[in-house]
Amino acid sequence: MSSEISNITSEPPNTDAVTVGSLNINDTELTLGLPGESRKLVAKRRFSVITDLKLGGNHRSDSIITKNSPSKEQLVGWPPVRSYRKNMTKSDCKYVKVAVDGAPYLRKVGLELYSGYQQLMCAFEDLFSCLAIKNVSNEMKLMDPVNGTEYVPTYEDKDGDWMLVGDVPWKMFVESCKRIRLMKNSEAINGSGMHNSQIFETTF
Amino acid sequence: MTSSFPEEVLEHVLSFLTSQTDRNAVSLVCKTWYETDRWCRNRIFVGNCYAVNPRILIRRFPDVKSIELKGKPHFADFNLVPEGWGGYVYPWVVELARAYPSLEEIRLKRMVVTDESLEMVAKSFNNFKVLVLSSCEGFSTDGLAAIAANCRNLRVLDLRECEVEDLSGHWLSHFPDSFTSLESLNMACLVSEVSFSALERLVARSPNLKTLKLNRTVPLEKLSTLLKRAPQLVDFGTGAYSAEFRPDVYSSLAGVFSACKNLKSLSGFWDVTPAYLPVINNVCSQLTSLNLSYATTQSPDLTKIVSQCCNLQRLVVLDYIEDTGLNTVSLSCKDLRELVVFPSDPFIGDVDVQLTEHGLVAVSEGCSKLHSILYFCRQMSNSALIQISKNCPNLTCFRLCIIEPRAPDYQTLEPLDTGFGSIVQNCQHLTRLSMSGLLTDRVFEYIGTYAKNLDMLSIAFAGDSDLGLHYVLSGCDRLRKLEIRDCPFGDKALLANASKLERMRSLWMSSCLVSFGACKLLGRKMPGLNVEVIDERENVNSIPEYAPVEKVYIYRTVSGQRFDAPDFVRIMGKDKDAVYNLS
């Protein structure tokens, strides 16, 4: 239950009021954390570096940062969040990466957060603010109003095939989708991004 | 000297003073004023249940209607106080029941409350009206059943973040059909399902119900039914906010929300289905308080909601809102006073979450009334802190948690001393500060020099030496609560500032360098302090006096040492057999 303390050294108090014997802390070897030599050494190094710091003036303190410090899970009560707040991730939700042709970074969407394709399209609109939904009867397309480029949502399914988003029932899509790519329309039509035959294939 | 001022007039004047601080000051003016305050003060606040005892309280104040008690120290919230430490309310309830049969209100924070205590409360006070249990534990739903069944004039039953042994939801059905006085019910922390029909009937027969906070088991589809019965609600907390999207459920819910013209505060939203969030669109502009900290959904959904909350004063949200969402807050929520951003994944760290210091800076820029901040993030810089301090000179509460201990300014790799120094220098009204990141003794020098109104300070993984602690104890004139963990502070600063400790409520130090010997000395020399060494090590009796203790909790008291402490708590320096006779 206690947080880690090991091999803590302390200066001998020199106030008159305190009568304490000479220090020989190393004898006590107060190891309260999980057993393991490396952890003891880490804590020791961390603390000895701290006591070496001089006050006043600038000093580089980056040496204190121990990259191999114990994971936060081993530090009791840190970060200071109440226990019922510790698992607030959307962990049950299925997240897939969304790539947009030409964009330098990907986003992730939680597919289970949405109830249908329409909402998914809205999510794309939100995540990639330069895109807008283009209303074309039953087709699902996004468009960059600045240069008129159209994007067609495609996805890679469990079999590794690239499919057009929207063909299968929503729940089936959520279950089989591995990742999503908003493909520039010219590529989709020419099939340069994927095999022609697979664009029109529906698999179950 | 006799006073020509009739006591009745003085009493009447004093009745306008509601703040405890004012009342305490008034009671020190002269004997007459002390006596008058004694007889007419009926709201009592005890910030540390071990600082005083029931007998002393009852002797001084013969007529009490409302009492507030606090037990464990704040770090108990983060599991730093071992189970069994103390904070039992039962001995208080026994005495209160005997002395104040007309007691109406009990508010407890971080105390151990048993079913026995609740049963005694239920049966002892005829006109009992308000029960607020905040971060309490030790009771079950049986205790709640006793309250429900017996407190015929109950107005408030508010369980805030309590750990309740949830045997069943049946307790709610114990409110009799004749019970109609309910004004506030908060059962959000309970796990069991209550009978929905009992809940609906309770709501229907409570015309004064203003606050209703449901627990997770009340499904979204049933919210309309409840809200239709209580359109007068001011503060509403939903249950689990997830369901398959159905247009009829959606429009029904949107309709009932629109009818809640007095709604000012919303919370709940567990497991949120984003499609259902927009039902609150029509009430967003009414809201002054919004708690989305259980809404595990992405930034765009959260942002859309907050962008409509133009009158929002308090926002609690997860880091899923990201910097972009906070930017929207800064543009849309011009009346914002309080911002709380919790981490969604404090341990592993979802790197996809784009929440940095930029979000906080944006809010500080756009929201000029901001006075209270609690912010969890993964990076911070001195320049950001300086900016925030300049944007918000009226900050009263600044709590920043950078998740990695000892993390430096991520841009310069320097300590964050100047950043926090700027906060205390520019924010002269700061009463509460929590710090994190890489900090040297220098930041404490700033705090001791500038933070003259600081009331509570929380420190972790900071400082270089005793000098840091000394700066704080000697410089912060108004400091009452100090809590420290994992800092290289030891005996010197503590002993040198022993008298300061009597002017504070409490000091907590864990994983520091305070020795057994120093604790014993302090306990012996300072009869007005209880120096509690909390140490669970098996070999603790053979640990030398110069070695550091695990934890020490020091608080002033007029009650002497306590006798309800477990094995691993030692009240240092006091003769165990001595009985304190305090008149």
User: Using the beta-carbon criterion (under 8 Å), do B414 and A60 form an inter-chain contact?
Assistant: yes
The pLDDT tens digits of the residues spanning B352-381 come to 789 999 999 999 999 999 999 999 999 999
- Give contacts of B544 with chain A, Cβ < 8 Å: 21, 28
CA distances from A197 to A193, A194, A200 (A): 12, 9, 6
| pLDDT value, residue B2 | 54
This model of the complex carries an ipTM of: 0.91
DSSP label of B320: G
Hey, is the C-beta of A7 within 8 angstroms of any chain B C-beta? Answer: no
Work out the angle at residue A80's Cα, subtended by the Cα atoms of residues A77 and A86, and round it to the nearest 5 degrees.
85
A50 or B296, greater pLDDT: B296
> In terms of Cα–Cα distance, which of B473, B474, B482, B475 is closest to B455?
B482
Q: Strand A149-156 vs strand A139-144: parallel, antiparallel, or unpaired?
A: antiparallel
Q: Is A20 on the interface with B (CB under 8 A)?
A: yes
Beta strands in B416-573 (DSSP E): 432-434, 456-460, 481-485, 506-510, 529-534, 551-556, 569-571
Mean pLDDT of chain B: 95
Tell me if A51 and B465 make a contact (CB, 8 A cut-off): yes
pLDDT digits (tens, 9 = 90+) for B72-88: 999 999 999 999 999 99
Q: CA nearest A19 in B: which residue? A: B517
Measured between beta carbons, which residues in chain B are less than 8 angstroms from residue A77?
Answer: 75, 78-80, 485
Number of other CB atoms surrounding residue B326 within 10 Å: 31
Contacts of B376 in chain A (CB under 8 A): 79, 81
pLDDT at position A186 is 73
Q: Inter-chain contact A47–B488, Cβ cutoff 8 Å?
A: yes
| Residues in chain A within 8 Å Cβ distance of B511 | 2-5
Measure the CA–CA gap between B432 and A146, rounded to whole angstroms: 49
Residues of A in contact with B413 (CB under 8 A): 60-62
d(CA B211, CA A180): 44
pLDDT band at B551 (very low <50, low <70, confident <90, very high): very high
SS (H, E, C) B291-312: EECCCCCCHHHHHHHHCCCCCC
pLDDT at B582 over 70: no
Question: Are B495 and A13 within 8 A, CB to CB?
Answer: yes
Please tell me which residue of chain B has the smallest CA distance to A85.
B344
Q: Which has more confidence, A90 or B323?
A: B323
Of the CA atoms within 13 Å of residue A76, those in its CB half-sphere come to 20
Identify the sign of the CA torsion A69, A71, A75, A81. positive
pLDDT tens digits, one per residue of B464-477: 999 999 999 999 99
Judged against a pLDDT cut of 60, whether residue B512 lies above it is answered with yes
Of B244, B294, B548, the CB nearest to A115: B244
* A 107-136 near B (Cβ less than 8 A): 108-110, 113-116, 119, 123, 126-127
Check whether B576 has a pLDDT greater than 70: no
| Contact residues, chain B, for A17 at CB < 8 Å | 495, 521, 525
- The answer to whether the Cβ–Cβ distance between B405 and A58 falls below 8 Å is no
Q: Which residues of B touch A11 (CB under 8 A)?
A: 490, 492
pLDDT of residue A142: 86
Interface contact A81, partner B, CB < 8 A: yes
Restricting to A residues 134-153, those with a Cβ less than 8 Å away from any Cβ of B are none
Residue-wise pLDDT for B430-442, tens only, equals 999 999 999 999 9
Residue owning tokens 């329309």: A185
d(CA B268, CA B292): 7
Cα separation, B292 vs B237, in Å, equals 10
Give the residues of chain A that fall short of pLDDT 70.
Answer: 1-74, 89-93, 135-138, 187-204
DSSP B15-33: TT---HHHHHHHHTS-HHH
The residue ranking higher by pLDDT, B494 or A70, is: B494
Task: Give residue B351's pLDDT band: very low, low, confident or very high (50, 70, 90).
Answer: low
pLDDT (tens digit per residue) in B97-154: 999 999 999 999 999 999 999 999 999 999 999 999 999 999 999 999 999 999 999 9
CA angle A62, A65, A70 (to 5 degrees): 175
For residue A149, the model assigns a pLDDT of 86
Question: Which of A113, A125, A127, A131 would you mutate first to test chain B, the one with the most B CBs within 10 A?
Answer: A113
Task: Give residue A42's pLDDT.
Answer: 36
With H, G, I as helix, E, B as strand and everything else as coil, classify residue B421. helix
Angstroms from A114 CA to nearest CA on chain B: 7
Q: Which residue has 């203003």 as its token pair?
A: B210
Determine whether the interchain pair A123/B300 forms a contact, defined as Cβ–Cβ distance below 8 Å. yes
Distance CA B235, CA B287 (A): 9
B242 three-class SS: coil
Does B21 have pLDDT greater than 50? yes
Contact B518 A13 (CB under 8 A): yes
B275 closest CB neighbour out of A88, A89, A115:
A115
Give the pLDDT of residue A89.
66
Q: Does A21 touch chain B (CB under 8 A)?
A: yes
Find, among A119, A125, A183, A122, the residue nearest to A151 by Cα: A183
Q: Judging by beta carbons within 10 Å of its beta carbon (0-12, 13-18, 19+), is residue A175 exposed, middle or buried?
A: middle
Site from A7, A9, A15, A20 to mutate, B interface, most B CB atoms within 10 angstroms? A20
Distance CA B143, CA B165 (A): 10
Q: How far is B326 from chain A (nearest CA, A)?
A: 15
Say how far apart CA B485 and CA B480 lie, in whole Å. 17
Would you say B483 and B516 are in contact if contact means Cβ atoms under 8 Å apart? no
Number of A to B CB contacts under 8 A, please give it.
Answer: 183
Q: What ranges make up the beta strands (E) of chain A?
A: 95-100, 107-110, 132-136, 139-144, 149-156, 162-164, 179-184
Q: Give the integer Cα–Cα distance in Å for B486 and A109.
A: 39
Nearest to A61 among B75, B297, B414 (CB): B414
Q: Nearest Cβ partner of B82 from A1, A8, A79? A: A1
Partner residue facing A20 (CB), from B346, B415, B515: B515
Q: Is A197 exposed, middle or buried (0-12, 13-18, 19+ CB in 10 A)?
A: exposed
Radius of gyration in angstroms for the set of CA atoms belonging to chain B, rounded to a whole number = 25
Whether the Cβ atoms of residue A73 and residue A155 lie closer than 8 Å to each other:
no
Please tell me the distance from the alpha carbon of residue B450 to that of residue B457, in angstroms, as a whole number.
13
Element (H, E) at B225: helix B223-229
Q: Residue B559: what residue type?
A: S
Task: Please state, as a whole number, how many other Cβ atoms lie within 10 Å of the Cβ of residue B403.
Answer: 20
Q: Please check whether residue A49 touches B, CB under 8 A.
A: no
**What residue type is B19 in one-letter code?**
S
Chain A positions touching B109 (Cβ under 8 A) are none
Measured between CA atoms, how close is B354 to chain A, in angstroms? 11
Helix (H, G, I), strand (E, B), or coil: what is residue B509? strand
**Of B420, B375, B367, B417, the residue nearest B392 (C-alpha):** B367
Of the partner residues B404, B486, B513, the one whose CB lies closest to the CB of residue A10:
B513
| Residue pair B464/A53 in contact by the 8 Å Cβ criterion | yes
Residue B232 phi/psi, 5° resolution? -85, 0
Residue A135 burial (C-beta neighbours within 10 Å; 0-12, 13-18, 19+): exposed
The pLDDT tens digits for B327-343 are 999 999 999 999 999 99
B275 CB neighbours in chain A (<8 A) are 114-115, 119
Predicted confidence at residue A134, as pLDDT, reads 78
pLDDT band at B383 (very low <50, low <70, confident <90, very high): very high
Q: Give one DSSP letter per residue of B474-493, joined into a string.
A: HH-TT--EEEEES---BHHH
pLDDT given at position B6: 86
Q: Which residue has the higher pLDDT, A126 or B205?
A: B205
Amino acid, res. A204: F
